Amino acid sequence: MKTKDFMKTIILLVVLTFISLIFPFFSAFIYLIWPIPIVFYIVKYGTGEAVPLVALVAVVNGLLVGLVYDIPNGIIMGVYSILSFGLIGFFLGSGIREKFNPFWTMVLTIVAVIISNLAMALSLPYILGFNYQALVTEMRAYLDAAGLFPQYDIILEQFLYLLKTLVPSLLLVTSAIHGILIYYISTWYLRRKGFDLHQYKPFSTWRFPRWWISLALVLLIVARTYLQYSSPGGLSEQARVVIINLMILLFFLIFLQGFAVVVNWLGRRTSNFLLVLVIFALFFFNIFVIYVLIFLGFIDMWFNLRRNQKA
Identify the pLDDT of residue 153: 61
Q: Which amino acid is at 249?
A: L
- H/E stretch holding 307: none
What 8-state DSSP symbol labels residue 275?
Answer: H
- In 3D space, the residue among 85, 98, 97 whose CA is nearest the CA of residue 53 turns out to be 85
> Tens digit of pLDDT for each residue in 11-30?
999 999 989 888 888 888 89
Residue 229 CB contacts under 8 Å (≥ 6 apart), including other chains: none
Question: What's the pLDDT at 247?
Answer: 93
CB 261 within 8 A of CB 296: yes
* Predicted pLDDT at 311: 43
Give me the architecture of the 2-140+170-192 domain, per CATH: Orthogonal Bundle (1.10)
- CA pair distance 46, 43, nearest whole angstrom: 6
The segment(s) of the chain belonging to CATH 1.10.1760 are 2-140+170-192
Neighbour count for residue 115 (Cβ, 10 Å): 15
Q: What is the DSSP string of 74-115?
A: HHHHHHHHIIIIIHHHHHHHHHHHTT--HHHHHHHHHHHHHH
Please tell me the distance from the alpha carbon of residue 184 to that of residue 256, in angstroms, as a whole number: 14
Chain segment 166-176, per-residue pLDDT in tens: 888 999 999 99
- Return the pLDDT at 239: 81
Distance CA 143, CA 153 (A): 8
pLDDT tens digits, one per residue of 182-215: 999 999 999 998 888 888 998 889 999 999 999 9
Q: With a cut of 70, list the residues of the chain below it in pLDDT.
A: 1, 127-157, 159, 231-234, 269-286, 308-311
231: left (phi over 0), alpha (psi -120 to 50) or beta: beta
